[in-house]
Chain A
Amino acid sequence: GAGVSQSPRYKVAKRGQDVALRCDPISGHVSLFWYQQALGQGPEFLTYFQNEAQLDKSGLPSDRFFAERPEGSVSTLKIQRTQQEDSAVYLCASSLGQNNQPQHFGDGTRLSIL
């Protein structure tokens, strides 16, 4: 079946522009996670949704980062007034539930800020 889909695959933006990254989770998956991965590092947690509720946003690095999942399926990560340090791969993952279910990852959006 279809896995987690992220778009765009690559995004180049000028410093100061706003960007929006989309995640289509696996159908029926309740939990959705966003991670940020800098070059040569492991992914770092940004935020978590259970259905449409954003239950944990402790990993968002600043108030320029905003995520939503209004109907409990597709999610969008928005970054306002982008900075060069926002350049990274943004990964989305979904899982069936809140417990120790495996997370299924998309291939990420590579964001480059010029």
Chain B
Amino acid sequence: DAKTTQPNSMESNEEEPVHLPCNHSTISGTDYIHWYRQLPSQGPEYVIHGLTSNVNNRMASLAIAEDRKSSTLILHRATLRDAAVYYCILRAYSGAGSYQLTFGKGTKLSVIP
């Protein structure tokens, strides 16, 4: 999978919006942009994914730049339960028969009460 770059950590106040950035300048035309998050002592949890258009679901919104070289995960109203490590992942067919996820170090989001 192509490489992504994320800030190591971010802070947000509770009940405020959070914008988590991700750079992926080497993205190819068939790479999907996936976001997962991992709460302490739990496995990763799927958040959202998209290809070109902005996407919304009950958890978050994904804003994708027109050139697709960057994207932003938007949490509209941060809660204490949103404190987690957020991973931005480019996902494409591996050629070996699988779509495994290639995780980086992610962004550790802290939410301040």
A interface residues, Cβ below 8 angstroms from B: 4, 31, 33, 35, 41-45, 48, 50, 55-56, 58-59, 91, 93, 98-100, 102-108
Which of B9-17, B44-52, B71-79 interfaces with chain A? B44-52
In chain B, residues 94-113, which have Cβ atoms closer than 8 Å to a Cβ of chain A?
94, 96-106
Q: How far is the CA of A43 from the CA of B43 in the complex (A)?
A: 9
Per the CB 8 Å criterion, the residue count for chain B at the interface is 24
| B97 touches which of A55, A59, A108 (Cβ 8 Å) | A55
Chain B residue with the shortest CB-CB distance to A6: B43
Q: How far is the CA of A44 from the CA of B105 in the complex (A)?
A: 11
Q: How far is the CA of A107 from the CA of B101 in the complex (A)?
A: 16
Query: What is the CB-to-nearest-CB distance from B39 to chain A, in angstroms, rounded to a whole number?
Result: 10
B44 touches A105 (CB 8 A): yes
Query: What is the CB-to-nearest-CB distance from B71 to chain A, in angstroms, rounded to a whole number?
Result: 15
| Given A42-B104, A43-B103, A45-B100, 13 additional A-B pairs, CB 8 A | A4-B43, A41-B105, A42-B85, A42-B87, A43-B44, A48-B98, A50-B98, A55-B97, A56-B96, A56-B100, A102-B34, A105-B45, A108-B43
| A99 touches which of B34, B46, B99 (Cβ 8 Å) | B99
Chain B contact residues: helix, strand, loop or mixed: loop
Q: How far is the CA of A45 from the CA of B99 in the complex (A)?
A: 10
B99 touches A93 (CB 8 A): no
| B98 touches which of A98, A104, A107, A108 (Cβ 8 Å) | A98
Chain A residues contacting B96 (CB-CB under 8 Å) are 48, 55-56, 58
Chain B residues contacting A56 (CB-CB under 8 Å) are 94, 96-98, 100
Chain B residues contacting A100 (CB-CB under 8 Å) are 32, 34, 49, 91, 99
B101 touches A103 (CB 8 A): yes
Chain A residues contacting B85 (CB-CB under 8 Å) are 42
B98 touches A42 (CB 8 A): no
Chain A residues contacting B32 (CB-CB under 8 Å) are 100
Chain B residue with the shortest CB-CB distance to A108: B43
Q: How far is the CA of A31 from the CA of B99 in the complex (A)?
A: 9
A107 touches B43 (CB 8 A): yes
